[in-house]
Amino acid sequence: MLDQLIDKFHRKITYVRLSVTDRCDFRCIYCMDEKMTFLPRSELLNLEELEWVGRAFVELGVTKIRITGGEPLVRKNILQLFQGLGKLKGLKELVLTTNGSQLEKMAISLKEAGIQRINISLDSLKPARFKKMTRVGKLDKVLRGIDAAIHAGFKGIKINAVILKNRNHDEVIDLVQFAIERGIDITFIEEMPLGVIKEHDRAEAFYSSQQIRDDLTTSFTLLDSTACTDGPSKYYTVKNTDTRVGFISPHTHNFCDTCNRVRVTTEGQLLLCLGKEQSVDLQAVIRAHPHDITALKLAIIQAIAHKPEKHNFDMTAAPQILRYMNRTGG
């Protein structure tokens, strides 16, 4: 059997984003609707199945797994999964995306369990606005979580900020300053049209990476970074600092030709492209062939052959992707 994943456009798949829960203790306005229905637990992959999926991918040449969700750190016994994945031979990077709400109490155990780098979402430094954007989140708790992660000594910490016009676009300079003061990186993300939300019109709230970059250059000098990102971010280094500023611009910057990643949803659907609905049901394969890693690997190999060439997000059209980011594994 093949031991690497190469699609029909000659892209090698080495990176998997694994969503471990669709649940979350926040309700960010761009990610979820106020009232969300979550999947029944029996429909989720259990922790053993999640580890099994990780193992199959690593045996097929995947070297990086990002754990995401929903909020990964609200899943019960999640450290057990990290410890299992952390032991896989061949896995070079085990990394996490979190909203930071649980980091104050979990940062040290995460480091011990084998998580190497952490992305933490932070869209505002103003408590009332933070609460409005997350609907329920408490800024001070997340800030304490960020400090706990810094003290725990992760190899890399990065802030993720989704910027919406007339919501938080006036904070981009302050957010970069926050990152500089802590010696960490920051990435600005353009909102993507995933799932139907009623809170705002996504087209009206769109604030492009180019606009953010223009705003930042009034206060900082951004130097082209040579950092290899193996992904959709374009990076700059802020002059005279160690901080890198990244931009994820799915609307204006097409990164599909170098795409090296796939996603696995909470219920075990293998998504071949963030911007397309095509998926393959890995949960069905696992439950039909328990303990048969070959069957799972074969299903993955066959699926990769159908990875689409590119996405085509359109903010002005009705949402083409009905799944929310929390199930997709952002």
Binder among 160, 209, 265, 266 for ligand SAM (CB under 6 A): 160
Query: φ, ψ for residue 117 (rounded to 5)?
Result: -135, 155
Residues 8-67 that bind ligand SF4 (CB under 6 A): 24, 26-28, 31-32
296 touches 282 (CB < 8 A): yes
**Rule CB under 6 A: is residue 13 a binding residue for ligand SAM?**
no
Binder among 274, 326, 327, 328 for ligand SF4 (CB under 6 A): 326
Q: Residue 105 carries which DSSP code?
A: H
CA dihedral 59, 49, 71, 275 (to 10 degrees): 60
**Rule CB under 6 A: is residue 142 a binding residue for ligand SAM?**
no
- Give least dist CB 268 to ligand SF4, A: 18
Residues 118-147 that bind ligand SF4 (CB under 6 A): 121
Binder among 15, 30, 82, 188 for ligand SAM (CB under 6 A): 30
Nearest to 124 by CA among 116, 132, 112, 113: 132
189 contact, one of ligand SF4, ligand SAM, none, CB 5-8 Å limit per kind: ligand SAM
SS3 state of residue 195 = coil
Residue by residue, DSSP assigns 30-94 as TT--SS--PPPGGGS--HHHHHHHHHHHHHTT--EEEEESS-GGGSTTHHHHHHHHHT-TT--EE
Q: Interface mask (CB under 6 A) for ligand SF4, residues 266-305, using x and -?
A: ----------------------------------------
- Give least dist CB 319 to ligand SAM, A: 10
Residue 147 is which amino acid? D
27 contact, one of ligand SAM, ligand SF4, none, CB 5-8 Å limit per kind: ligand SF4
Query: φ, ψ for residue 212 (rounded to 5)?
Result: -65, -45
- For helices 127-134 and 139-152, the axis angle rounded to 10 degrees is 90
- Give least dist CB 326 to ligand SF4, A: 4
Instruction: State the residues that interact with ligand SF4 by CB under 6 A.
Output: 24, 26-28, 31-32, 69-71, 99, 121, 325-326
Instruction: State the residues that interact with ligand SAM by CB under 6 A.
Output: 24, 30-31, 68-69, 71, 97-99, 121, 160, 162, 189, 191-192, 194, 325-326, 330
